[in-house]
Amino acid sequence: AAYRAVGLAVGVVGLAALAFAPQVFARVPMPLLGALLIWVGVSLTLAWLVRPIRTLRRSEYAIILVILGVSIAAGLPAGIGMGLLTALVLFAVEYARVDGVRFVASGRDFHSRAISQQRRSELAGRGDAIAIIKLAGFMFFGTSDRIVQRIVAQAQTAGSKGPWYAILDFSRVTGFDSSTVLSFERLRRTAERDGFHVVFAGLGALATRLSDGGLDIETAPFHRAADVEAALRWAESELLGVQPEGQPDSIPAEASLAQLLGDPGLARAIFPYLVREEYAADQRVILEGTDADDIYIIESGQGSVMLEAKGGEPVALMDFAAGTILGEVAFYGREVRSASALARTPVVAWKLTRDGLTQVETERPEAATAFHRALARLLAERLQSANRLIRVLAD
> pTM, whole model, 2 decimals?
0.57
**Quick one: pLDDT at residue 8?**
94
Evaluated on CA atoms 295, 298, 301, 304, the torsion sign reads positive
Q: Which pLDDT score is estimated for 341?
A: 92
Q: Confidence band (pLDDT; 50, 70, 90) for 159? A: low
What confidence category does residue 355 fall into, taking pLDDT thresholds of 50, 70 and 90? very high
Residue 120 has pLDDT above 70, yes or no: no
Residue 246 pLDDT level (bands cut at 50, 70, 90): very low
Give pLDDT, residue 247. Answer: 43
φ, ψ (nearest 5 deg) of residue 152: -60, -45
Give the whole-angstrom CA distance, residue 299 versus residue 248: 10
Q: Quote the CA–CA distance of 380 and 366 in Å, as a whole number.
A: 21
Which of 154-158, 216-220, 258-262, 263-267 bottoms out in mean pLDDT, i.e. has the lowest? 154-158
The amino acid at residue 343 is A
Within 10 A of 184 (CB to CB), how many other CB atoms are there?
24
pLDDT tens, residue by residue, 183-193: 999 999 999 99
Region of 385 (left: φ > 0; alpha: ψ -120 to 50; beta: rest) is: alpha
Of 158 and 52, the structure prediction assigns the larger pLDDT to 52
Q: For position 136, what pLDDT does the model report?
A: 86
Predicted pLDDT of residue 209: 86
Which residue pairs from 257-260 have beta carbons closer than 8 angstroms and sit at least 24 positions apart in sequence? 257/297, 259/117, 259/118, 259/121, 259/323, 260/117, 260/325, 260/371, 260/374, 260/375, 260/378
Mean pLDDT throughout 134-144?
Answer: 83
Q: b/e string for 195-220 if b means 16 or more Cβ within 10 A?
A: ebbbbbbbbeebbebbeebebebeee
Q: Whole-angstrom Cα distance, residue 246 to residue 26?
A: 93
What type of residue sits at position 190? T
Mean pLDDT, to the nearest integer, of 104-121? 69
Rounded to the nearest 10°, the torsion over CA 387, 389, 394, 395 is 120
For residue 142, is pLDDT > 80? no
Give the percent of the chain with pLDDT over 70: 89
- Residue 138 near residue 172 (C-beta atoms within 8 A): no
Flag whether pLDDT at 63 surpasses 70.
yes
For the stretch 259-318, pLDDT in tens is 888 899 999 999 999 999 999 999 999 998 899 999 999 999 888 888 876 666 777 777
When pLDDT is averaged across residues 77-81 and rounded to a whole number, the result is 93
Task: Tell me the three-class secondary structure of 55-118, residue by residue.
Answer: HCCHHHHHHHHHHHHHHHHHCHHHHHHHHHHHHHHHHHHHHHCCCCEEEEEECCCCCCCCCCHH
Quick check: helix, strand or coil at residue 247? coil
pLDDT score recorded for residue 145: 84
DSSP string, 121-142: HHHTTTGGGEEEEEEEEEE-HH
Half-sphere exposure (Cβ direction) of 3: Cα atoms closer than 13 Å: 5
pLDDT value of residue 296: 94
